[in-house]
């Protein structure tokens, strides 16, 4: 576990798998929790390929959203119901047929909201395939 994070990779995967069984079933898992970033990986699945040969947009959008959610959990602990308010994604380069890895980091972490940046790479391809920013509402914490 990193200095600033509240959950390890294993704890994160266990928490998400319990709450959202569809997560692992669709090929996503938390790959790494580092000091300032969380990586989520999507395992390549030919069923997500679209005509023209690219991995589908919704696969990358779901990966970006999942990486943001995992980052908030990792940093704040299993507080529950952070809610996506907004997600903006740019598709940059056509990914090769490979696993995708999304790396999420905070642009801002306030008391009631967070803004997160995500960069998605296809394994073995230098140029990023997508970039996203999102805002999350963070529920009031009691303590």
Work out whether 24 is an interface residue with its own copies (CB under 8 A).
Answer: no
User: What is the rounded distance in angstroms from the CA atom of residue 33 to the CA atom of residue 76?
Assistant: 13
Which part of the chain contacts its own copies (CB under 8 A), choosing from 4-12, 32-40, 88-96, 97-105?
Answer: 88-96
Work out whether 48 is an interface residue with its own copies (CB under 8 A).
Answer: yes
Question: Which among 92, 75, 81 is positioned nearest to 138, based on CA atoms?
Answer: 81
Work out whether 131 is an interface residue with its own copies (CB under 8 A).
Answer: yes
Phi, psi of 46 (to 5 degrees): -60, -20
120 half-sphere exposure, CB direction, 13 A CA radius = 31
User: What is the rounded distance in angstroms from the CA atom of residue 92 to the CA atom of residue 94?
Assistant: 7
Least distance in angstroms from the C-beta of 108 to its own copies: 4
Alpha carbon 5 to chain centroid, angstroms: 15
Which part of the chain contacts its own copies (CB under 8 A), choosing from 5-13, 33-41, 97-105, 106-114?
Answer: 106-114
**Which residues lie near its own copies (CB under 8 A)?**
19-20, 22, 47-48, 50-52, 54, 56-58, 61-62, 65-66, 80-81, 83-93, 107-108, 112-113, 115, 117, 127-128, 131, 133, 135, 137
């Amino acid at each position: 576990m990193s200095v600033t994070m509240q959950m390890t990779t294993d704890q994160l995967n266990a928490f998400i798998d319990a709450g959202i069984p569809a997560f692992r079933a669709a090929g996503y898992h938390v790959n790494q929790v580092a000091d300032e970033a969380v990586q989520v990986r999507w395992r390549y699945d030919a069923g997500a390929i679209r005509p023209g040969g690219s991995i589908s947009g919704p696969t990358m959008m779901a990966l970006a959203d999942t990486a943001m959610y995992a980052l908030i959990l990792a940093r704040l602990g299993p507080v529950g119901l952070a809610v996506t308010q907004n997600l903006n994604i740019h598709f940059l380069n056509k990914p090769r047929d490979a696993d995708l890895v999304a790396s999420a980091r905070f642009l801002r972490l306030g008391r009631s909201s967070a803004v997160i940046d995500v960069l998605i790479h296809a394994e073995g391809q230098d140029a990023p395939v997508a970039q996203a920013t999102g805002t999350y509402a963070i529920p009031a914490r009691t303590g």
